[in-house]
């Protein structure tokens, strides 16, 4: 059923041929009739007969028949046969360079990346010279151009991904295997002891072979674990869920009592359309399924249902109008009164190719398969995370070994175990038949623990941390009430983090995780500078009674340069303050020179002079004690103003501490609208 659904959604080829040979003509007529019904397996057989009965000297006709063979084989995932057919079409100089595109696609699906590249390049070189009416009706020129560019990029990426695989452990599962296709595994809600999947094995209902796939129509099977956690021999569902038609690709509610699945009914003399059905479980039995009327469009298919973890949306795939390509991922709101609004997941998810088989990890992360995003071959599995602030999806290829040159799809995660589960793939099967594989990502945790606070020491619970990694990570992290945050990272990668909060300047940090298969913990702190009040620059030192900066000041001033580079729109006043010792006029001049020394250092460090104002205040602005001040002067209380009169009433040793607090260098933000 996977190949059935996957290939139903292109329009039909309309180029008809007349042959002098009656045998070839009969085969062609039968092929066209089977093709019109979507019975690609039968159509391929008839096209092959017509091809064999056509003289090799009739190269144009052979080219067309070879191309049509390839088209049928491609739709049912017979990639090796499709590759050979398209190669014949190219060899006989099929008039449309789209044959080069499809040959490249089949080569890529067989992992022949280097061989595929020149055919992609051939197509892209010559495609622009052909008008749209020269393109076959089953693929628009702009779509093929987009997919060819993605395929070319994929060939180069895939070679790198094979050289540098992820740490996933992937194994074929023998207990689920049959001599036919087994695919779309799915746990029944929160129950980790039962696994459902789709199969065309001999135990499936029906006796006739499907003209579309050449196999029996698919049914839903299930396997249970025994007390030793061993999977048992799969059995078909003993209910009305399975029928004489194609049934499969199921999904369950969290409690495991509601099942959505796909049914493809075969209609006489007409293409079949996929539909979604729902069944309720009462005890151990599944009730009679009911069709889900998601839309009134009877000429579009809906398939591959996936209920969101919260049960508020049903995700599905469809070729309905308003999408971005062949098959798109959509969702419909599930309400108490039935179905709500339908919306497309948008261009970050959907492409001009096919997006299929949505599913969810226990943490709510969306997974789907696509042949439109850059990938390793046919369908690749992708991970998608939605940014709650921008409402945009960040999509990441799962790479090798989860993905392969073949079709990889239908991922399900063990409940409460986001690091392991099952998926399906036709890798290693020349017939294109699917099999079920297990995956596990070894539990190695590299954890970052961070803290965001203002420079006065208060936690900033409204802060946001943006994390970007060279592994493709892009996350917006909300901090907790105490200003802390925790994020798991991948080993052996560089990350940049930007902490931001309304009313504060941004702060940036960079880090690298160790490339080790051992648990690691990392810590970062972000002390944010206020936009509305002066900010102390710690560890600024001057020569005694002079304005010259000491070398020890460089660290703090370099950090200030970095802060200004991270906030390029701000202008600041650089303020220097003295204690009450010395006369007022002298202190005022000394503080001004010291402020100017700091400004000169910042300018030398690359900061535009127009963003900087030097101001010496002498002893005119004594420090008001804050909680941060109490760390160095615990004998004071918050709100004390360190005037000369106040300080002279303290013991001598405390007087010197207060004078040191007053001798400070600060900055304050003047405006946040600077542009160069």
pLDDT digits (tens, 9 = 90+) for 416-426: 888 899 999 99
Pairwise CA distance, residues 1 & 274, whole Å: 10
Q: Output the pLDDT for position 9.
A: 34
Question: Torsion over CA of 107, 110, 113 and 117, rounded to 10 degrees?
Answer: 10
The CB density around residue 648, as the number of other CB atoms within 10 Å, is 11
Q: Output the pLDDT for position 127.
A: 64
Encode pLDDT of 623-635 as tens digits.
999 888 888 899 9
Angle value at C-alpha 55, between 54 and 56, nearest 5 degrees? 115
Q: Output the pLDDT for position 516.
A: 87
Q: Please say whether the beta carbons of 346 and 393 come within 8 A.
A: yes
Give the total residue count for the chain: 676
The stretch 19-38 carries a mean pLDDT of 72
Q: 279-313: b or e for each residue (b if 16 or more CB lie within 10 Å)?
A: bebeeeebeebeebebeeeeebbbbbbbbbeeeeb
Q: What is the pTM of this model?
A: 0.61
Lowest-pLDDT range of 27-36, 447-456, 464-473, 609-618: 27-36
Q: Output the pLDDT for position 13.
A: 30
Nearest CA among 354, 359, 367, 294 for reference residue 324: 354
Q: Output the pLDDT for position 15.
A: 33
Q: What is the DSSP letter of 139?
A: S
pLDDT band for 137, please (50, 70, 90 cuts): very low
Encode pLDDT of 381-393 as tens digits.
999 998 888 889 9
Pairwise CA distance, residues 221 & 235, whole Å: 5
- Average pLDDT over the chain reads 88
Please check the confidence at residue 202 and state whether its pLDDT lies above 50.
yes
pLDDT band for 10, please (50, 70, 90 cuts): very low
Q: How far apart, in Å, are the Cα atoms of 194 and each of 187, 408, 440?
A: 6, 22, 18
Pairwise CA distance, residues 59 & 54, whole Å: 9
Question: DSSP labels for 275-339?
Answer: EEEEEEEETTEEPPPEE----S-TTS-EEEEEE-TTSSEEEEEE--TT-SSSBEEEEEEEETTEE
Please check the confidence at residue 567 and state whether its pLDDT lies above 80.
yes
Strand partners, 450: 485, 524
Pairwise CA distance, residues 561 & 570, whole Å: 12
Encode pLDDT of 214-244 as tens digits.
678 899 999 999 999 999 999 999 888 999 8
Q: Which two tokens stand for residue 497?
A: 């983090």
Please check the confidence at residue 17 and state whether its pLDDT lies above 70.
no
3-state secondary structure 425-446: ECCCCCCCCCEEEEEECCCCCE
The stretch 453-482 carries a mean pLDDT of 93
The alpha carbons of the chain give a radius of gyration, in whole angstroms, of 34
Q: Which helix (H) or strand (E) holds 365?
A: none
The stretch 515-543 carries a mean pLDDT of 91
The stretch 157-186 carries a mean pLDDT of 93
């Amino acid at each position: 059923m996977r190949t059935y659904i996957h290939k139903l959604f292109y329009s039909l080829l309309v180029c008809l041929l007349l042959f002098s040979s009656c045998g070839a003509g009969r085969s062609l007529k039968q092929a066209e009739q089977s093709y019109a019904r979507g019975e690609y397996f039968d159509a391929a057989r008839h096209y092959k007969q017509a091809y064999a009965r056509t003289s090799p000297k009739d190269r144009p006709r052979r080219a067309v028949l070879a191309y049509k063979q390839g088209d049928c084989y491609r739709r049912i995932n017979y990639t090796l046969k499709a590759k050979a057919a398209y190669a014949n079409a190219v060899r006989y100089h099929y008039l449309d360079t789209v044959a080069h595109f499809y040959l490249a696609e089949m080569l890529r699906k067989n992992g022949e990346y280097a061989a595929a590249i020149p055919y992609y390049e051939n197509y892209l070189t010559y495609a622009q010279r052909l008008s749209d009416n020269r393109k076959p009706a089953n693929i628009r020129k702009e779509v093929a151009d987009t997919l060819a560019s993605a395929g070319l990029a994929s060939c180069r990426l895939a070679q790198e991904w094979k050289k540098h695989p992820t740490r996933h452990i992937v194994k074929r599962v023998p207990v689920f295997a049959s001599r036919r296709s087994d695919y779309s595994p799915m746990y029944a809600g929160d129950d980790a002891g039962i696994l459902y999947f789709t199969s065309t094995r001999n135990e499936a209902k029906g006796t006739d072979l499907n003209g579309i796939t050449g196999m029996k129509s698919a049914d839903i099977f299930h396997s249970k674990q025994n007390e030793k956690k061993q999977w048992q021999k799969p059995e078909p569902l003993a209910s009305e869920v399975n029928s004489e038609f194609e049934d499969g690709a199921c999904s369950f509610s969290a409690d495991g009592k509601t099942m959505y699945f796909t049914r493809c009914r075969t209609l006489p003399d007409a293409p079949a359309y996929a539909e979604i059905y729902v069944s309720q479980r009462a005890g151990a039995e599944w009730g009679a399924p009911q069709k889900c009327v998601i839309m009134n469009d009877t000429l579009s298919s809906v398939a591959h249902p996936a209920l969101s973890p919260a049960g508020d949306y049903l995700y599905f795939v469809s070729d309905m109008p308003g999408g971005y390509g062949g098959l798109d991922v959509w969702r419909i709101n599930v309400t108490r009164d039935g179905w709500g609004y339908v919306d497309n997941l948008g261009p970050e998810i959907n492409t001009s190719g096919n997006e299929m088989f949505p599913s969810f990890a226990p943490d709510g992360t969306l997974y789907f398969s696509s042949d439109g995003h850059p990938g390793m071959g046919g369908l690749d599995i992708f991970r998608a995370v939605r940014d709650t602030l921008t409402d945009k999806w960040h999509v990441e290829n799962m790479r090798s070994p989860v993905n392969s040159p073949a079709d990889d799809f239908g991922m399900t995660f063990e409940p409460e175990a986001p690091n392991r589960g099952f998926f399906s793939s036709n890798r290693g099967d020349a017939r294109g038949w699917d099999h079920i594989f297990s995956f596990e990502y070894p539990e190695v945790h590299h954890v970052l623990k961070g803290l965001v606070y203002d420079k006065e020491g208060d936690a900033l619970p409204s802060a946001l941390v943006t994390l970007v990694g060279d592994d493709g990570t892009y996350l917006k992290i909300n901090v907790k009430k105490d200003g802390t945050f925790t994020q798991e990272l991948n080993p052996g990668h560089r990350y940049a983090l930007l902490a931001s909060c309304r009313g504060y300047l941004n702060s940036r940090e960079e880090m690298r995780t160790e490339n080790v298969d051992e648990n690691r913990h990392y810590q970062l702190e972000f002390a944010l500078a206020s936009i509305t009040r002066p900010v102390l620059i710690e560890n600024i030192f001057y020569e005694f009674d002079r304005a010259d900066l000491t070398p020890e000041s460089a660290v703090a001033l370099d950090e200030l340069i970095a802060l200004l580079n991270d906030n390029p729109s701000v202008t600041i006043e650089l303020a220097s303050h003295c204690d009450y010792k010395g006369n007022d006029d002298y202190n005022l001049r000394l503080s001004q020179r010291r402020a100017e020394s700091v400004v000169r250092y910042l300018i030398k460090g690359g900061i535009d002079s127009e963003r900087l104002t030097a101001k010496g205040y002498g002893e005119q602005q004594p420090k008001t004690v804050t909680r941060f001040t109490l760390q160095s002067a615990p004998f004071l209380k918050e709100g004390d103003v360190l005037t000369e009169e106040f300080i002279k009433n303290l013991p001598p040793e405390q007087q010197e501490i207060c004078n040191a607090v007053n001798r400070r260098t600060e900055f304050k933000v003047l405006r946040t609208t600077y542009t160069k």
